[in-house]
Amino acid sequence: MQVKDMLLEKVAIGPVSARVYQGAEYGKGSPIVLFFHGGAFLESGVKDSLVAESIASAGAIVVVPDYNAPLGNVFPKPLEVGFSIFSYLANKRASGLGDRNSLLLVAGEEAGGNIAAGVALKARDHYAEALDGQILISPLLDPFMGTASIRKADGIGMRQRWTAGWSHYLSGGGCHPYAAPCLCSRISGVAPALVLTAEDDPLRDETLGYADRLKQADVKVRQHVLPAGTGWPSIYGGQSEKVSKWQHSVSEQFGSFVQTISVRPIALKTN
């Protein structure tokens, strides 16, 4: 695994720091994944990410930007930064990452999954041909926190953090559909989606609920629910007594998803 820090200097909103993961299997035509880290909308900084590393291990180039730093972490600023980075990467792979045959996907975990879903919606509205797929990993989508599974949030020490995170993220006023994609009334036409969660994930219900809505809108969806006991809540800082053993599943699901959306065969490691 190659990991390097770089500055994305030509992004329209200004330079953005990022950490880039390249697995041993990457090569010509490797997918580029713009990955938004979690942190309940509250964290900034260049982050290590085991999820990004798992995706890269399947043969992708994964870019994890410090998307909250340039303009702040209140909506719509993180989304503006995320979309600006996406547009930069889509411009003939201007960063030098990948090549003209590389697929371009957005991905994210928890709060980062929210940003990824929002970027996918905005891409549909403004730059649809440039986005090949979205990967939503336990995305934080419901500001009302009203699902049945969210009751488990207390048990992993996340309820107060998510409550505070939503309050801060939406403190600019209003609740735009890009800020809470689960409330968006028009989701047809967005890029194909890979949706991942786990049985013991407090975000399971809103994750699968959004997947169902995407399917109903004729969006191609691949979803996978990991069994309980894999340490899944640890991906976004939740307390877990289990040893994390979800990495292989993330890598495998990503590899299979890319094969389904590719117009040409791509040699990815899937096992």
CATH topology of domain 2-261: Rossmann fold (3.40.50)
> What is d(CA 32, CA 143) in angstroms, rounded to the nearest whole number?
30
> What is d(CA 107, CA 117) in angstroms, rounded to the nearest whole number?
8
- Coil, helix or strand for 158? coil
Run of H or E residues at 209: helix 204-216
pLDDT given for residue 263 in this prediction: 61
pLDDT given for residue 161 in this prediction: 97
Both tokens assigned to 68: 């909250």
pLDDT given for residue 1 in this prediction: 85
> What is d(CA 157, CA 104) in angstroms, rounded to the nearest whole number?
34
pLDDT given for residue 101 in this prediction: 85
Strand order through the sheet with 221-226: 2-8, 16-22, 61-65, 32-36, 104-109, 133-137, 193-198, 221-226
pTM: 0.94
pLDDT given for residue 79 in this prediction: 97
Rounded to the nearest 5°, which phi and psi values hold at 189?
85, 0
pLDDT given for residue 18 in this prediction: 97
Amino acid at 173: G
- The residues spanned by each domain of the chain are 2-261
Q: Running DSSP on this structure, what letter comes out for residue 59?
A: T
> What is d(CA 235, CA 247) in angstroms, rounded to the nearest whole number?
10
Say how many C-beta atoms besides its own lie within 10 A of residue 92's C-beta.
8
Q: Which residues of the chain fall short of a pLDDT of 70?
A: 24-27, 92-95, 263-271
pLDDT given for residue 270 in this prediction: 46
Which residues touch 91 (CB under 8 Å, ≥6 apart)?
none
> What is d(CA 57, CA 234) in angstroms, rounded to the nearest whole number?
19
